[in-house]
Amino acid sequence: MGIIKDRFKAQADKIAAEIKDLLKEHGNKKIGEVNLSQIYQGMRGMTGLVSETSLLDAQEGIRFRGYSIPELQKKLPKAPKGTEPLPEGLFHLMLIGELPTEEDVHHITSTWQRRSHVPNHVFAAIEALPVATHPMTQFVIAIMALQTESQFSKRYAEGMNKKDYWEAVFDDTMDLIARLPRVAAYIYRRKYKKEDHIHPNGLLDWAGNFAHMLGYEDETFKELMRLYMTIHADHEGGNVSAHTTHLVGSALSDPYLSFAAGMNGLAGPLHGLANQEVIKWILEMRSALDTELPSKEQIADYVQKTLNEGKVVPGYGHAVLRKTDPRFTAQMEFGKKHLPDDPLVQTVWNIYETVPPILQSLGKIKNPWPNVDAHSGALLVHFGLVEYEFYTVLFGVSRALGVLSSLCWDRALGFPIERPKSVTTELVNLWLEGKAEIWGD
């Protein structure tokens, strides 16, 4: 086995034994109470999942295996002369639970380079779609076309022992992550650069090579990609893309099928697609007001207009967070360091000063603060990546790191098929009248 695989297996065996003891002693302990409103309102605040790779605190934001984003920016290995963390390092941390050495990160980079070959039929599947097809649809179809390569599905068909599931999921995880930048860059160059494709550069790190294949050689853009791929990777287990990948994987659908399902969820405008919606909204505002740098008063009026039209202000609000998203802050710091005079970036900052009090004044929005998607587009536009329909694909490539390392854990810990109980409103009414029982009550 490879070094990373051995370490993962050792770690998984240790944690599986710990969980066994924990459940033996505390398995009947109550973990929260479920209210009727929670089952009608998106299961908000209900603890119902285990996801080892990261944990979200409503006030503080995301921690990956205990480390905040600023801590990761200090502690994870960097590219030569770089200052942003390499996503390979975050993958190691999420998968194994320990900070990697430079050598570990180098090992992951070269493993992913070695495993990055994309078969021709995947490109043919993309080519079969009209160019106008949304990049997220093309991305999901390409992942589905790649499913022919799944080790898990092959080995399952050959009668694999359930003790080996983790290993086949691990192999698919490494292959899939290795291949995604090539697939995503192919979609981008096909749709926006007249099929002028760029070969991978085997000397670059995973995110640096992705930037290169997209057509960007600027070192600051490569640094942005490393930061972007790190901060979008995981947001604990309950968000739509992570939960969907986990849910579909629980049926022993292989990692390609599971990840494609998760990506369909990421493509929703209340989730990952919000990154394209934000920039679209800002560009529309600029054109409606006929100015590159709208004043805060103009922004406030435009926000009001958006709300009056029954639409959400994209990039603001969150189902769990109750403060400014540290992923927003990390991007704001990047902007301050590298492009403080960019009018679009300044507009994002002016929106940040304007929107929260307006949303707060409505009295119903639980979190008026910006999330990760409020900032990302403005940084990308600065470097010339203006094709905002592609932004969610970038998010998806990064999200693979978290949801697939979580899937390795799901199979290593032998989690069963997910199957919560549902009820009908008729049953709820009968239960409220004391005429029926609800299972588990």
Are 62 and 69 contacting, i.e. CB atoms less than 8 angstroms apart?
A: yes
Does 97 bind ligand CMX (CB under 6 A)? Our answer is: no
Active site annotation includes 318 = yes
Site for ligand CMX in 252-291 (CB under 6 A): 270-272, 274
When the beta carbons of 239 and 405 are compared against ligand CMX, the nearer one is 239
Does 410 bind ligand CMX (CB under 6 A)? Our answer is: no
Does 316 bind ligand CMX (CB under 6 A)? Our answer is: yes
Q: How far is the CB of 26 from ligand CMX (least distance, A)?
A: 30
When the beta carbons of 120 and 361 are compared against ligand CMX, the nearer one is 361
Residue among 44, 91, 101 nearest 407 (CA): 91
Among 279, 313, 385, 403, binds ligand CMX (CB under 6 A): 313
Are 46 and 308 contacting, i.e. CB atoms less than 8 angstroms apart?
A: no
- Phi/psi of residue 54, nearest 5 degrees: -160, 165
When the beta carbons of 74 and 296 are compared against ligand CMX, the nearer one is 296
Q: Which of 325, 373, 375, 410 is catalytic?
A: 373
- Cα separation, 273 vs 60, in Å, equals 24
Binding residues with ligand CMX: total (CB under 6 A): 20
Does 314 bind ligand CMX (CB under 6 A)? Our answer is: yes
Among 15, 252, 339, 365, binds ligand CMX (CB under 6 A): 365
Residue among 378, 319, 381, 324 nearest 355 (CA): 324
Q: How far is the CB of 134 from ligand CMX (least distance, A)?
A: 17
Site for ligand CMX in 8-67 (CB under 6 A): none
Residue among 59, 67, 70 nearest 369 (CA): 59
Stretch that binds ligand CMX, among 20-28, 100-108, 217-225, 311-319 (CB under 6 A): 311-319
Does 372 bind ligand CMX (CB under 6 A)? Our answer is: yes
Within 193-218, residue ranges assigned H as helices are 206-214
Q: Which of 246, 271, 375, 382 is catalytic?
A: 271
| C-alpha to C-alpha distances, 127 to 47, 135, 184, 367, nearest whole angstrom | 43, 12, 13, 42
- Cα separation, 62 vs 354, in Å, equals 24
When the beta carbons of 111 and 324 are compared against ligand CMX, the nearer one is 324
Active site annotation includes 271 = yes
When the beta carbons of 45 and 82 are compared against ligand CMX, the nearer one is 45
Does 373 bind ligand CMX (CB under 6 A)? Our answer is: yes
Residue among 233, 230, 221 nearest 77 (CA): 230
Q: Which of 134, 232, 318, 382 is catalytic?
A: 318
Residue that has been written with the tokens 């086949």 in this structure: 168
Nearest residue to ligand CMX, by Cβ distance, number only: 317
Q: How many residues does the chain have?
A: 441
- Bridge partners of 370? 316
Among 226, 318, 327, 399, binds ligand CMX (CB under 6 A): 318
| C-alpha to C-alpha distances, 66 to 62, 97, 169, 423, 428, nearest whole angstrom | 9, 9, 25, 37, 40
| C-alpha to C-alpha distances, 342 to 276, 277, 333, nearest whole angstrom | 19, 20, 14
- Tokens representing residue 233 in the block: 């990777």
Residues of this chain that bind ligand CMX (CB under 6 A): 239, 270-272, 274, 312-319, 364-367, 371-373
Residues with a catalytic annotation lie at 271, 318, 373
